[in-house]
């Protein structure tokens, strides 16, 4: 994690995660028994034909957010502000690409609450391809919604 | 882009067929010389009763040589009743009355055929001469001055061999597509040979040998949609070639290669070949198998192509890297997207 | 059936069970004490158990109104509903276990209804409609009501005399508000010659009492209901011989509609009875009310209200297209434009959904008429045009979905070129079938998503653009058509099952797309039997041989498609 970009793929879609974002995730892993869940939104762009997506930056918890070791609530307006700023500065190419959060497990799997939240994120952004990242203590997993439910992207080695 | 598409590009670059523009001169020369042969043989009292192209052009397995040379294999057939007992006679007729008259300095009578080169046109022609008795063919074997014990009309089956190579009756379902895949594999293997062996050794690994081996070991591969997968097919075919029994182990990790013609005269195509040829052939084929497996295991398109270029040479395409965000045109959106509140557990 | 064994098993389990004779019938009687009372459960002996053994509740009248328990007339028994009998799989090889299981269910349910009064009331309201139907006269005509449910007057029309089925066989109630609704015009146009039966009122109830258990108790129920709910004084003062009161009320199972009819005994006109005394002048009977509005009918009959606002352009109204529009209509699509230049002829009869009285009619017009009369809330239009005549950007962008079922790969690819060049945003489904029952295909092209129609046309052998679809199960360059009468009379042999099956996969894609359940370009095929194809000497593709994903929605994207990868 963190030395170079990571590419995740599934069928016709690939997600290229910048090493900066990977470094942030590495630092936010829930390794200690008292670490709370960390989370934020994913900001990035995509190719014109929408087959390649790039994670450019991510946000981390702000003061009005809440979290415990096993849950979080992302509600601080600063996440939206960060997205809007990136959108304006990029000339309309950088957008909200989804959310990320940590799990205190080696290889993370989404809970029912996670999936329901993701569905609501998709509902708020009709027509957009969103990605949902869970950072485990060992592996990072990226999920997208397909016709077959939420499926994980495969990391290119 | 799929790896198959790159194989298709590679195949387009190396394949040679009679209709290709590159083959135009060869085709014209072939037609005009064949006409003269017909006239000369008529005058000599053994008129040509049929002629046909044999060799890789006729079996759709010809490739462009890296040297740019073209080969023509034109079989000349005379009737058995008119054929002289001395089988070298028509060969001399052809050599002296046709080729030398046309100014070929280097026309030569070789054991199985008469050959000549168009020096300026990179064109090499071979004329095997047969006599035909009913449906049976016999090839004129013997050099110019061969005595009776060194010359003979030898049983042969040039058309049978051609049909055997082009046979698709044993391919169940999508037979034409499978035969096309076989043809491509033979071309890949021939280009691999030209690329990986020294000129001298390559000349000893006869195309017909590769073709017969590939035919006997061919394992077609298509995905469930019916899209060919030449990489897998080649790998499994090569693996089968290695264990089929063509290579006999000798002392000191050396190998003797032998491949028998599947038709008359059933002789060993590699008859008289050295253990050096056999050993190199076997070991390089084994290396090829490993590289193909590497290419199969590799998931990155560009890396895959790089491995295959190493095997097949520069005609195998390697696409430009386009995977970074800077070089690709980006989509522009009308809004930044709604974050809202989110929760998780 | 060995009842001795069952009795001894139940006794072993701690029940007080005996075999008795009640009203000359052999019975298994179980007496069960519970906190605050005793239950007497009676099972009438049977030869064979083909469902969960039933027990009746003895001394039924002492318990009052119990949810899930209905009186058995003449006897003082209650019939207990412990669940959907048909859906329980019964262990008939071990009757004693089935009896024990059933007994436990009965006791659990009955003690709950008796002890938990609030739950009992809620359950009684939940099953209000079913209980109301029980007291209605089976032979009387239903009352169909087109109304929103607010307090208002309703005009009531009689059934058309002699009519045994259809809307004409029912009473019809129409309110002032409803006469502007689509449903009104739909029902009204079905039968125009109705006589006025009387008038009545739509009365929403905020305070619903459980339904009376017998028709004798209806009068009492009525008086209490009138007392506890608001009825405008205008209605109260109205005088008449016959009134229809159409109630609606919120119950735990949704808004329930039901009604009563009041007819005066003798002559004269009177206002609505409000007490026991005035009620004596009226005869009162319960009626079944069927509310006719789309919020009720569409979900109940299998349509999705979420599709009502959607607009679909259907190009090609042949056997496949005809099946598709029927299925889309049944799914609840609100707006459809049907396009086809062809006439419905005798050659089509057996594989087309249209009936023969449309022979000679344009297929788009005929289907439009059929759909309008079949689905109350659909709005259809037709265009007598070919696919290539539809190349108009604004027109195409105005739809939520375009479905193409014309079976012409050339036209479909040309049309696709137009869509790409003009950045049309509407999703497109192309669907076609192959002859001889070998299979059919549907391709969903979501614009701005990976995968397009051309992905289904990539020549798999060369990776270049192909002329026929790589989804096909029959090899190209075979003459598959049958020539019956020379040029212009060629046809591809297939039957209506193939057409319907193909329509199903296309419709599934269509609905999934419109409900945004399918968000990526997809393909679906169904694979049929190849015996007809083989016996005629045709050859099948590699895909046919290898295909094992019939009906599954698969990604459309082909990595060698030059349009997706331009």
Q: In this structure, what token pair is assigned to residue B245? A: 């029994």
Give the pLDDT mean for B292-296. 95
Residue at C187 is within a domain = yes
C391 and C450 inside one domain: yes
What residues of C are in the A interface, CB distance below 8 Å?
448-451, 512, 516-520, 522, 553, 555, 557, 559, 564-566
Contact A147/C518, CB-based, under 8 Å?
yes
- pLDDT at residue C512 tops 90: yes
Chain A residues touching B343 at Cβ < 8 A: 71-74, 113, 117
What is the C-alpha to C-alpha distance for residues B200 and B273, in angstroms, rounded to an integer? Answer: 12
Q: Domains in chain B, please, with CATH?
A: 17-157 (3.30.460.90), 167-312 (1.10.1410)
Confidence of residue A2 (pLDDT cuts 50, 70, 90): very low
Average the pLDDT over B52-65 and give the result. Answer: 90
In whole angstroms, how far apart are CA B344 and each of A25, A99, A103, B91, C337?
17, 10, 10, 89, 44
Q: Are residues C343 and C444 in the same domain?
A: yes
Nearest CB neighbour to A72, from listed B332, B334, B344: B344
Stronger pLDDT, C196 or A133, i.e. the higher one:
A133
Q: Is the pLDDT of residue C564 over 90?
A: no
Residues 117-146 in A contacting C (C-alpha not used; CB under 8 Å) = 126-127, 145-146
- Residue B220 contacts C, CB cutoff 8 Å: no
**Cross-chain CB nearest to C542 (options B4, B180, B222):** B222
Among candidates B330, B337, B345 on the partner chain, residue whose Cβ is nearest the Cβ of A71: B345
Span C304-332, average pLDDT? 94
Nearest to A124 among B334, B336, B338 (CB): B338
B123-157 burial string, b = 16+ CB within 10 Å, else e?
bbbbbbbbbbeeeebbbbbbeeebeeeebbbbebb
pLDDT at B322 over 60: no
Answer yes or no: is pLDDT of C284 > 70.
yes
Who among B4, B177, B224 is closest to C547 (CB)?
B224
Instruction: Using the predicted structure, report yes or no on whether residue C286 has a pLDDT greater than 50.
Output: yes
The reply to whether B5 touches chain C by the CB within 8 Å rule is yes
* Secondary structure class of B15 (helix, strand, coil): strand
Judge whether residue C295 has pLDDT over 80: no
> Which residue of chain C is at minimal alpha-carbon distance from B173?
C542
Could you give the angle at the alpha carbon of C53 between the alpha carbons of C50 and C58, nearest 5°? 145
In a domain, C561, yes or no: no
* Domain identity same for C404 and C439: yes
Number of structural domains (chain C) is: 3
Asked if the model's pLDDT at residue C80 lies above 60, the reply is yes
The reply to whether residue B226 touches residue C546, judged by beta carbons under 8 angstroms, is yes
Smallest CA–CA separation between B284 and chain A, in Å? 29
Q: Of B283-287, C79-83, C270-274, C290-294, which has the strongest mean pLDDT?
A: B283-287
* pLDDT of C219 higher than 50: yes
- Boundary-marking domain end, from C292, C319, C337: C292
Q: Are residues C10 and C82 in the same domain?
A: yes
What's the pLDDT score for residue C163?
80
Question: In this structure, is residue C121 part of a structural domain?
Answer: no
The chain A residue lying nearest B332, using CA atoms, is: A93
Domain identity same for C98 and C187: no
At C412, which CATH number?
Answer: 3.40.50.720
| Tens of pLDDT, residues C30-66 | 999 888 788 999 999 988 888 888 899 988 888 888 8
Interface test with B, best of C460, C545, C562 (most B CBs within 10 A): C460
| pLDDT one-digit tens code per residue, B89-112 | 999 998 888 888 887 878 889 888
Domains annotated on chain A, with CATH: 6-155 (3.40.140.10)
Query: Among candidates C341, C346, C372, C368, which has minimal Cα distance to C359?
Result: C346
The residues that bridge with C39 in the sheet, in sequence order, are C32
Q: Are residues C157 and C227 in the same domain?
A: yes
Domain end marker among C115, C146, C176 = C115
pLDDT at B323 (0 to 100)? 47
* Residue-averaged pLDDT of chain C: 87
Residue whose C-alpha is closest to residue B183's, from B215, B161, B157: B215
Q: What is the pLDDT of residues C186-205, one digit of tens each?
A: 666 655 677 888 888 999 99
Question: Which chain B residue is nearest to residue C534, measuring alpha carbons?
Answer: B173
Q: Residue C560 above 90 pLDDT? A: no
Confidence of residue B328 (pLDDT cuts 50, 70, 90): low
Say if strands A154-155 and C196-205 run parallel, antiparallel, or are unpaired.
unpaired
Tell me the per-residue pLDDT of B166-220, one tens digit each, with 9 for 90 and over: 999 888 778 889 999 999 999 999 999 999 999 899 989 999 999 999 999 999 9
What's the confidence (pLDDT) of residue B270?
94
Per-residue pLDDT for C566 more than 60? no
How far apart are the CA of B307 and the nearest CA of chain A, in angstroms? Answer: 17
pLDDT at B278 over 90: yes
> Residue C476 falls within a domain, yes or no?
yes
How confident is the model over C406-429, as a mean pLDDT? 92
pLDDT of amino acid B325? 43
Whether C222 and C361 map to the same domain: the answer is no
pLDDT in the model for residue A89: 81
Contacts of B345 in chain A (CB under 8 A): 70-72, 111, 113-114
Gap from B335 CA to chain A (nearest CA, Å)? 7
Indicate if C239 and C139 belong to the same structural domain: yes
- From C89, C115, C141, the end of a domain falls on C115
Regarding predicted confidence, which is higher, B278 or B28?
B278
Which chain B residues are within 8 Å of A117, Cβ to Cβ?
Answer: 342-344
Bridge partners of C156? C173, C198
Residue A1's pLDDT is: 46
Question: Do A50 and C559 lie within an 8 Å CB cutoff?
Answer: no
Please give the structure tokens belonging to residue B286. 């084994």
Is the pLDDT at B19 greater than 90? The verdict is: no
Q: How far is A124 from chain B (nearest CA, A)?
A: 6
Which residue has tokens 């003061």?
A: A63
Cβ atoms within 10 Å of C475's Cβ, excluding its own: 20
Q: Give the mean model confidence (pLDDT) for residues A26-34.
A: 87
Contact B83, B137 (CB under 8 A): no
Same domain for C548 and C414:
yes
Subunits adjacent to chain A (3 or more Cβ pairs under 8 Å): B, C
Residue C475 touches chain B, beta carbons under 8 Å: yes
Q: Which domain holds residue C484?
A: 302-555
Which of these ranges, A21-35, B1-15, C14-28, C166-180, has the smallest mean pLDDT? C166-180
Q: Which among C517, C519, C555 is the nearest to A12, CB-wise?
A: C555
pLDDT in the model for residue C320 = 96
Q: Report the distance separating Cα C162 and Cα C169, nearest Å.
A: 8
Whether C229 and C175 map to the same domain: the answer is: yes
Conformation bin of residue C219: beta by default, left when phi > 0, alpha when psi is -120 to 50: alpha
pLDDT in tens, C431-468: 999 988 999 999 999 886 778 999 999 988 888 888 88
* pLDDT value of position B37: 92
Residues C201 and C344 in one domain: no
pLDDT at residue number B331? 79
- pLDDT at position C52: 84
Whether residue B4 and residue C560 make contact (CB cut-off 8 A), yes or no, is: yes
Residue C120 domain flag: no
Mean pLDDT of C90-115: 87
Query: Is there a domain that residue C455 lies in?
Result: yes
pLDDT at B262: 95
Mean pLDDT of A42-51: 86
What number is the ipTM of this complex? 0.84
Distance of CA C249 to the CA centre of its chain: 22
Residue B61 has pLDDT above 90, yes or no: yes
- Would the CB atoms of C450 and A145 count as touching at under 8 Å? no
Residues of chain C positioned with their CB less than 8 A from the CB of B2: 463, 559-560
Query: Is the residue at C352 inside a domain?
Result: yes
**Residue to test with chain C: of B226, B304, B334, most C Cβ within 10 A:** B226
Question: Do C482 and C412 sit in the same domain of this protein?
Answer: yes
Q: Is residue C472 part of a domain?
A: yes
- Give the percent of chain C with pLDDT over 90: 42
């Amino acid at each position: 994690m963190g030395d170079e970009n990571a590419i995740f793929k599934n069928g016709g879609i690939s997600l290229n995660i910048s090493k900066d974002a990977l470094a942030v995730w590495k630092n936010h892993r829930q390794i200690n028994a008292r670490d709370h869940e960390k989370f934020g939104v994913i900001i990035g762009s995509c190719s014109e034909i929408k087959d390649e997506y790039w994670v450019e930056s991510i946000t981390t918890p702000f003061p009005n957010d809440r979290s415990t070791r096993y849950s979080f609530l992302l509600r601080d307006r600063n996440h939206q502000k960060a997205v809007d700023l990136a959108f304006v500065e990029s000339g309309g190419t950088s957008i909200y690409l989804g959310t990320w959060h940590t799990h205190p497990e080696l290889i993370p799997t989404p809970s029912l609450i996670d999936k329901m939240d993701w569905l609501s994120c998709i509902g708020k952004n009709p027509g957009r391809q969103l990605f949902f990242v869970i950072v485990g203590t060992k592996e990072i997993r990226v999920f997208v919604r397909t016709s077959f439910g939420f499926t994980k992207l495969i990391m290119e080695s | 882009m799929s790896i198959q598409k790159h194989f298709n590009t590679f195949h387009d670059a190396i394949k040679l067929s009679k209709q290709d523009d590159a083959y135009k001169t060869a085709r014209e020369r072939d037609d005009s010389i064949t006409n003269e042969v017909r006239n000369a043989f008529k005058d000599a009292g053994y008129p040509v009763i049929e002629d046909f192209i044999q060799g890789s052009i006729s079996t759709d397995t010809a490739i462009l040589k890296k040297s740019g040379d073209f080969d023509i294999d034109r079989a000349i057939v005379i009737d058995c009743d008119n054929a002289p007992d001395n089988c070298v006679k028509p060969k001399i007729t052809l050599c002296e009355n046709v080729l030398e008259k046309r100014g070929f300095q280097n026309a030569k009578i070789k054991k199985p055929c008469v050959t000549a080169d168009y020096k300026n046109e990179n064109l090499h022609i071979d004329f095997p001469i047969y006599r035909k008795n009913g449906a049976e063919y016999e090839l004129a074997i013997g050099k110019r001055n061969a005595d009776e014990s060194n010359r003979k009309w030898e049983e042969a089956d040039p058309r049978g061999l051609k049909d055997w190579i082009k046979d698709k009756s044993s391919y169940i379902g999508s037979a034409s597509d499978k035969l096309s895949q076989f043809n491509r594999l033979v071309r890949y293997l021939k280009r691999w040979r030209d690329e990986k062996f020294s000129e001298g050794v390559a000349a000893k690994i006869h195309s017909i040998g590769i073709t017969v081996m590939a035919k006997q070991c061919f394992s077609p591969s298509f995905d469930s949609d019916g899209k060919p997968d030449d990489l897998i097919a080649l790998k499994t075919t090569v693996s089968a070639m290695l264990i089929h029994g063509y290579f006999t182990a000798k002392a000191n990790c050396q190998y003797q290669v032998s491949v028998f013609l599947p038709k008359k005269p059933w002789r060993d195509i590699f008859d008289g070949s050295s253990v050096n040829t056999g050993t190199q052939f076997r070991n390089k084929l084994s290396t090829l198998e490993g590289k193909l497996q590497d290419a199969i295991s590799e998931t990155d398109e560009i890396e895959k192509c790089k491995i295959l270029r190493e095997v097949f040479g520069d005609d195998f395409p390697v696409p430009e890297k386009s995977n970074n965000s800077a070089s690709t045109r980006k989509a522009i959106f009308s809004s930044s997207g709604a974050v809202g509140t989110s929760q998780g557990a | 059936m060995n009842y001795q064994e069952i009795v001894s098993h139940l006794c072993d389990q701690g029940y007080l069970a005996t075999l008795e004779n009640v009203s000359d019938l052999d019975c298994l009687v179980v007496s069960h004490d519970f906190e605050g009372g005793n239950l007497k459960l009676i099972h009438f002996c049977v030869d064979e158990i083909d469902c969960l053994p039933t027990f009746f509740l003895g001394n039924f009248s002492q318990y009052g109104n119990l949810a899930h328990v209905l009186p058995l007339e003449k006897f003082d028994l209650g019939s207990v509903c412990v669940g959907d009998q048909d859906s329980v799989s019964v262990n008939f090889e071990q009757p004693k276990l089935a009896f024990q299981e059933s007994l436990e269910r009965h006791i659990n349910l009955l003690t709950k209804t008796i002890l938990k009064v609030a739950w009992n009331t809620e359950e009684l309201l939940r099953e209000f409609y079913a209980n109301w139907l029980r007291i209605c006269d089976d032979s009387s005509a239903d009352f169909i009501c087109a109304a929103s449910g607010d307090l208002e007057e309703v005009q009531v029309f009689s059934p058309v005399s002699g009519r045994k089925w259809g809307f004409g066989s029912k009473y019809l109630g129409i309110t002032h508000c409803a006469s502007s609704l689509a449903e009104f015009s739909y029902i009204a146009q079905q039968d125009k010659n109705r006589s006025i039966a009387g008038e009545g009122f739509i009365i929403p109830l905020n305070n619903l009492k459980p339904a009376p258990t017998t028709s004798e108790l209806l009068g009492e129920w009525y008086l209490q209901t009138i007392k506890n709910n608001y009825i405008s004084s205008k209605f109260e003062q109205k005088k008449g011989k016959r009134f229809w009161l159409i109630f609606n009320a919120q119950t735990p199972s949704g808004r329930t509609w039901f009604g009563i009819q009041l007819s005066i005994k003798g002559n004269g006109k009177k206002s609505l009875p409000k007490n026991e005394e005035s009620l004596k002048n009226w005869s009162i009977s319960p009626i079944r009310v069927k509310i006719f509005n789309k919020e009720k009918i569409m979900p109940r009959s299998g349509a999705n209200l979420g599709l009502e606002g959607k607009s679909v352009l259907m190009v090609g109204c042949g056997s496949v297209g005809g099946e598709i529009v029927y299925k889309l209509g049944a799914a609840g699509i609100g707006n459809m434009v049907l396009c086809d230049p062809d006439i419905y002829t005798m050659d089509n009869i057996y594989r087309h959904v249209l009936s023969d009285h449309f022979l000679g009619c344009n297929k788009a017009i005929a289907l439009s008429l059929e759909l309008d009369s079949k689905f109350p809330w659909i709005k259809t239009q037709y265009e007598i045009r070919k696919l290539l005549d539809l190349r108009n950007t604004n027109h195409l962008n105005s739809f939520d979905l375009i479905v193409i079922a014309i079976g012409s790969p050339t036209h479909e690819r040309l049309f696709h070129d137009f869509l790409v060049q003009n950045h049309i945003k509407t999703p497109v489904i192309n669907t076609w079938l192959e002859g001889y029952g070998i299979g059919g295909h549907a391709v969903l092209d979501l614009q701005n998503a990976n995968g397009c129609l051309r992905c289904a046309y990539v020549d798999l052998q060369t990776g270049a653009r192909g002329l026929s679809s790589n989804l096909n199960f029959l090899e190209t360059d075979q003459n598959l058509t049958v020539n019956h009468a020379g040029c212009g009379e060629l046809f591809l042999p297939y039957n209506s099952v193939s057409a319907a099956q193909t329509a199903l996969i296309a419709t599934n894609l269509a609905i999934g797309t419109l409900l945004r359940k399918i968000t990526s370009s997809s393909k679906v095929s169904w694979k049929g039997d190849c015996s007809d194809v083989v016996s005629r000497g045709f050859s099948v593709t590699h895909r046919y041989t290898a295909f094992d994903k019939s009906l599954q929605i698969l990604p459309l994207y082909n990595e060698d498609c030059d349009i997706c990868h331009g």
